[in-house]
Amino acid sequence: MAGSIPEEEYERFFRDARPHLLGQAYLLSGNSQEAQDLVQEALLRAWENWGRVRHLDDPQAWARHVLHNLAVSQWRRRRLQLSRRVPAASSSTEGPGVGHLEVAAAIRTLPIKQRRALVLRAVVGLSTAQVAAELDAPESTVRVWLMRARSSVAVALGRDSEYRRGGKNVTSR
């Protein structure tokens, strides 16, 4: 089936979606290797279901949703391992610089709805309306989540006074 239209569509989808999914996965997992694994699994599931996924209004939204569900499953498995006193596997993969790690750590402390909204807005680059549609929430609620998330990240990074003065968006560094 080399050179068929569905394969070409998937290849284009893969090229467009992968960088955004990788950013989202890193902020959800906090580990570059885990992020790559999550993205690989989400894209594999997209390929396996491409006959259906390709006809969706927004295949990338489907992939983001799958990626989020995979990350949540990973968190649950890790929590179960910790409750059983079984150490989780560690990775020695070299990740981003210290500043990025601080931002990612601050984002991981957010409540899940705020975290998802912030990642979709700041990393994936969706508009507030698109984030609201993807999270099935009113736009006004998403704006509140984003405001609270940015404020919490600013406080965690010790930049809350800069944030209140209307300084640079701390999540874009």
Residue 130: CB atoms within 10 Å: 17
Amino acid found at 97: G
- Nearest-Å Rg of the Cα atoms of the chain is 17
Query: With 70 as the cut, is the pLDDT of residue 86 above it?
Result: no
Q: What is the chain's percent helix, strand, coil content, to nearest 5? A: 75, 0, 25
Confidence of residue 2 (pLDDT cuts 50, 70, 90): low
More confident residue, 164 or 54: 54
- Residue 89: DSSP 8-state: P
What residue spans define the domains of the chain?
1-95, 96-173
> Does 26 score more than 50 pLDDT?
yes
Task: Mention every residue, 6+ apart, whose C-beta is less than 8 A from residue 82.
Answer: 88
Q: Output the CATH code of domain 96-173.
A: 1.10.10.10
Q: Is 96-173 in the same CATH topology as 1-95? A: no
- Residue 23, SS3? helix
Confidence of residue 9 (pLDDT cuts 50, 70, 90): very high
Sign of CA dihedral 134, 140, 145, 146: positive
Per-residue pLDDT, averaged over 17-24, amounts to: 92
* 88-134 pLDDT per residue, tens: 444 444 555 546 778 788 888 889 889 889 888 887 788 999 899 98
Return the pLDDT at 76.
75
Identify the residue with better confidence: 27 or 66. 66
Q: Number of C-alpha atoms within 13 angstroms, CB side, residue 38? A: 30
pLDDT at position 54, please?
94
- CATH topology for 1-95 is Rna Polymerase Sigma Factor; Chain: A (1.10.1740)
Distance separating the N- and C-terminal Cα atoms of the chain: 43
